[in-house]
Amino acid sequence: MGNSLIQTLGIEFKQIEKGRVVATMPVDDRTRQPFGLLHGGASVALAESVASIGAYELVNKEKEVVVGLEINANHIKGKREGIVTATGTVLHQGRTTMVWDIKITDEQDQLISVSRCTIAVIEKR
C-alpha cells in the first residue's frame, strides 16, 4: 500500500475476496491514545481501509475508483496491546454507493469496535 496511512499504522491485509476483507493492525505506540488505549481514530482508519479495499475489489478498476463517504463507529472495549483484526462484509452493493459492516475484534475474538462505512463509487479521471 506504499507510503500511506495504511503503512504508517501497520495495517496488514490477510484476506481480500469479493464482498469480504480481513486485516490486522497492531496496538502499539502508533495506534494508542495518550492514556495507553487503542485510539478510536486508529480503529476508524482500520475500518475505512477495510471497506475501501473491499469496495475497490467490486468495481470496474479501469473506469471507477472508490472513496469513503460516511463512517460511524461504536467503540465497545478498550485494548492496550496486541493485535486487532477487522472483518468487513458488504451489506449493500449499488451502482454509486456501497455499505460495509466492519467488526474489529481482539485475539480472543472479543468485540472491540463496530463500524458501518458508506463508500462512494466515482468515475476515474
Per-residue pLDDT tens digits for 15-31: 999 999 999 999 999 99
Helix or strand holding residue 40 (H, E): helix 40-56
- pLDDT tens track for 34-44: 999 999 999 99
Asked if residues 48 and 56 have their Cβ atoms less than 8 Å apart, the reply is no
The residue to which cell 454509486 is assigned: 96
| 48: confidence class by pLDDT, cuts 50, 70, 90 | very high
**Alpha-carbon distances, residue 37 vs 16, 25, 49, 59, 109 (angstroms):** 28, 14, 20, 36, 18
CB-count burial class (<10 Å; 0-12, 13-18, 19+) for 124: exposed
For 56-97, the pLDDT digits (tens) are: 999 999 999 999 999 999 999 999 999 999 999 999 999 999
CA atoms within 13 A on the CB side of 82: 14
Q: For the residues 105-115, what does the mean pLDDT come to?
A: 98
Which residues form the catalytic set? 48
Contact 113, 73 (CB under 8 A): yes
Taking 80 as the threshold, does the pLDDT of residue 2 lie above it? no
Look at domain 5-123 and name its CATH class: alpha beta
